[in-house]
């Protein structure tokens, strides 16, 4: 199934794993990925550590980055509003 196998009957975990499976073949831009994970520095650290796969197909200064969408979503920041 993926990195995290769901063995118990937990509908939320199964739904989340399905989302990761669908998004595995998709990519996000560097700006969107940085917004999701919590900043450019954190994104670059995650790419350097290997937690997020990223490539830059065109080796030019303004070339677009492609970050694996499922891995970006696995490392997203807490978006809940604080009380």
Q: What is the pLDDT along the chain (83 residues), one digit of tens a residue?
A: 455 555 567 888 888 889 899 999 999 999 999 999 999 999 999 999 999 999 998 888 888 999 999 999 999 988 777 76
Tallying the residues shown for the chain, one arrives at 83
Contact at 8 Å (CB) between 37 and 76?
yes
Structure tokens at 62: 């303004």
Per-domain residue ranges for the chain? 26-83
């Amino acid at each position: 199934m993926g990195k995290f196998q769901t063995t118990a009957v937990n509908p939320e975990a199964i739904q989340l794993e399905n989302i990761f499976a669908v998004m595995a073949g998709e990519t996000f831009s560097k700006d969107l990925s940085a917004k999701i994970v919590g900043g450019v520095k954190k994104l670059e650290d995650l790419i350097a550590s290997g937690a997020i796969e990223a490539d830059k197909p065109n080796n030019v200064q303004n070339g677009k980055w492609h970050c694996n969408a499922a891995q970006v979503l696995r490392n997203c920041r807490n978006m809940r509003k604080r009380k």
